[in-house]
Structure 1
Amino acid sequence: MRTGTILVGVDGSAGSESALRWAVREARLRPGPVTAVFGWTAEGPRGVYRAAPHADHDALARAAAAVLDRAVVDVVGQDGRVGQDGRGAVGQLVVEADPVEALIKNAGTAEMIVVGARGHGPVHRMLAGSISQGVVHHAPVPVVVTRGSVPAVEERDSRPVVVGVDGSPSSLAALTWAAVEAEARGVQLRVVHAWGSGNVVGPALIASWQQSLVGQAQRTLDAAVADGVGERANVDAVVTGDLPAQALLRESGDAQLLVVGSRGRGGFAELVLGSVSHQCVLHAACPVAVVRTGPR
């Protein structure tokens, strides 16, 4: 069971409210605490300036703290507790720094970081790929980007946890991480291996290769499940000839969480435009967890 801190980025936006709600739901499955982090600078978020009576440093700092406190109260109530038994108040941390920097600087002892898909970042960051993309690129821990609707804290979610595997070390780390999440929720773990490459070949080659490709894909999936999951009763393994991003985005429509590795067959040093992970973070219908290779 995971016991480390869940860091969640909060900026007063609807996206960050969704992230905080997801983090609180996660905290109910484990003994670890939640810390809501609010990063602010002279560039924003805009809510800080609207809340500040004066444009001096102290007034802005107090306004930032007020915006964060209000966001926490809106999600978890006046007492800031995450458990039905009154356990675990949500911690609040206001940092005078860029939101991405604020989260990365405080990730040292965290178990994961949770951010919304859209926030109140400045225009230049929105153009560069948003706060969520910045955190996914640079965080040393798994990052969950909340997309789609996140159920209320008290609602039960029986949808499966879906994870994409391709046999790479990163996907095996994602598989192991996803298995823990599915077990904590008491739901099915759906393991997807998509072997489609998108290469255009003739019908004769397709016919001669298909059986071999399907067999190889099944062996890759079986080995990954054996290494990353072991003997678990509620595992559904899926092999498909679709492109990996296409298959995972389709599966995300019926999932409560989609888990991917940060580096796959292409050996990406970071998430780059066109990678499976990047496409899932941008377009999935449910929250997406991006898991780094190897232990902390």
Structure 2
Amino acid sequence: MSNSLRILVGVDGSPGSEAALRWALAEAALRAGRPDAGGPACTVTALLAWTGEGLPAGVLRAAEQTDEGTLGAAAAEMLERAIKRVGEPDGAVELRRLVVRGKATQALTGAARNYDLLVVGEHGHTPLYRRTAGSVSQGVVHHSSIPVVVARRDSAPAASARRADRPVVVGVDGSDLSLGALRWAAHEAALRGAPLRVVHAWGGLDQMYAEALVTAQGALLRQAEGILDHAVTLGLDGAADLAVDTVLAPDPAVRALLRESRDAQLLVVGSRGLGGFARLLIGSVSHQCVLYAACDTAVVHTDGDAVPAAEPAAAMTGAGLAAG
């Protein structure tokens, strides 16, 4: 993953979207500040999408036919006000503006193909028309082809979240997409100088077979250990030097990840994969993490490498097993 990054962030004038813009600018500053950054400056594009939904057709036509395009001009002005509240970046990061007519989810996912990372707030509204809180973030998480970060209003931005004791947490289940999430998380942890915590949850099995599960618990635990060890070995091959610890939890994945998010600065999950022992969609896990995690949450949609292969291998320090 190059340290020169193109970030697209959804802005709609809400406090949640302004938190997303702060996160995006801080992330770009982290990458631009790397000694090995080089290349072109990191860019952040603030996209504001507007519609005339809820307005009478005659009013909408009249507004669009004015010399300045009243609704479009109002949207652009709203974007500028949001940027002013957040603040302009320093010279190492280029901030661009983009105002488009259309629904926010479609505008963001359509534009995302030209970017490396998409950032949205957990709640928001579109200009000139209030929308259901969280609908845009859920829409882009499910339809984006690139990694999506959902920023929390009460979380510190990436650049100021250098709380080295607070890890980047990633959930793995052995699927290719969870390995992609692990590589992405490792790169983020290296940027922050933070530890990486790799979580594999193997619980949540059908209680109808409780007696059989007790009998097979030893085998299930060994299988889970194998999945976790394989994921760390394969997913962190060629990663940057990191302090890595592992958590093996006999809980459903959502419960384990939400618990770990309480002390994390970033939670990373794959968009879908294998759910522990049984074959399950991780889509439901990512959905719940986006809604309820206590920290910023990234959903990674690729199984491609996210860590430059030339960097030294990961240092497994403080690796442990947590079953609670």
- Aligned-pair CA distance for 1:155: 2.5
Q: Are residues 1:197 and 2:207 paired?
A: no
Deviations for 1:35-62, whole angstroms, at most 9, x for unmatched residues?
Answer: 10000010289xxxxxxxx971201111
Other-structure match for 2:132: 126
Assess, with a 3 A threshold, how the Cα gap between structure 1 residues 235 and 154 changes in structure 2: closer, same or farther.
closer
Kept after mapping to 2: 8 A contact 1:15/1:116: yes
- Aligned-pair CA distance for 1:25: 1.1
Kept after mapping to 2: 8 A contact 1:39/1:102: yes
- Aligned-pair CA distance for 1:147: 2.6
Deviations for 1:62-86, whole angstroms, at most 9, x for unmatched residues?
Answer: 111111011111112xxx22x4xx3
Q: Which moved more, 1:153-162 or 1:218-227?
A: 153-162
Other-structure match for 1:49: none
Deviations for 1:145-184, whole angstroms, at most 9, x for unmatched residues?
Answer: 1135222576243221000000011111111111100011
Q: Are residues 1:144 and 2:149 paired?
A: yes
- Aligned-pair CA distance for 1:202: 6.0
Assess, with a 3 A threshold, how the Cα gap between structure 1 residues 160 and 283 changes in structure 2: closer, same or farther.
same
TM-score of the two chains, using structure 2 as the length reference: 0.79
Q: Which runs of 5+ in 2 are unaligned?
A: 33-41, 56-60, 306-324
Kept after mapping to 2: 8 A contact 1:5/1:112: yes
- Aligned-pair CA distance for 1:233: 3.9
Q: How does 1:39-54 map to 2 (within 5 A)?
A: 39-43=49-53
Other-structure match for 1:289: 298
Q: Are residues 1:182 and 2:183 paired?
A: no
Assess, with a 3 A threshold, how the Cα gap between structure 1 residues 43 and 3 changes in structure 2: closer, same or farther.
same
| Aligned with residue 224 of structure 1, among 210, 225, 231 | 231
The secondary structure found in structure 2 opposite 1:107 is helix
Q: Which runs of 5+ in 1 are unaligned?
A: 46-53
Kept after mapping to 1: 8 A contact 2:24/2:44: yes
Letter in 1 for 2:297: V
Assess, with a 3 A threshold, how the Cα gap between structure 1 residues 157 and 38 changes in structure 2: closer, same or farther.
same
The secondary structure found in structure 2 opposite 1:36 is strand
How far apart, CA to CA, are the structure 1 residues paired with 2:211 and 2:246?
29
Sequence identity (%):
50
| Aligned with residue 117 of structure 1, among 122, 147, 150 | 122
Other-structure match for 2:263: 254
Equivalenced residue count is 276
Kept after mapping to 1: 8 A contact 2:18/2:82: yes
